[in-house]
Amino acid sequence: MTNLITGASSGIGEALAYALAKRGDKLFICGRDKARLKAVAERCNAEWAVVDVADAKATAEWIRKANEKHPIDRVFANAGVSTGEENDKNVRNTFAVNVGGCVNTVLPAIEIFSRRNPPNQTIDRKNRPTIVITASIAGYGPLKACPSYSATKACVKTWGLSLRGYLAPKGINVSAICP
């Protein structure tokens, strides 16, 4: 199984990379912190790239190149940040990474997976290409300590759940996880 994970230099993405590597899966990982990402990649024997998922062009190019090297089976749109203080800079960064980064990861994956699956072909659900969106339990209700984070996670959760039904006829699985 070949997996692509954004936000793999720490947190859930890092843990996911270790778990998938332990199973023997092939990994393409990205993040913004070069030193931490490189350490994760070395431990997982993963191919890695420093990519800011808020950059749509760079993210799409990285996903396309990874898929050309080895067809991707699962894409984990995992990159995310927490707001901290609700000021202009932090709020905009939270939306750019958590929503924009998710969109910038998922849209190229849909394009790749749609080309792979001919229309009206029956594909066993467990063998379908899969998109996994990391949302959060914060997406179920507004948290006064982190309004921007809550809003962005509600957005990607709802988008993921909606995409599930929309992409099912195209033979693409979608999951939205809410840790």
Beta strands in 13-157 (DSSP E): 26-31, 47-50, 74-77, 130-134
Phi, psi values for residue 41, rounded to 5° = -60, -45
Count CB atoms within 10 A of the CB of residue 79.
Answer: 29
Q: Count of residues for the chain?
A: 179
Reading the block at residue 87, the tokens are: 């000021």
Asked whether 108 and 63 are in contact (CB, 8 A), the reply is: yes
The upper half-sphere exposure of residue 55, i.e. CA atoms within 13 Å in the direction of its Cβ, equals 12
**Any idea which residues carry the catalytic annotation?**
149
Amino acid at position 83, single letter: T
| Residue 3, strand partner residues | 27, 74
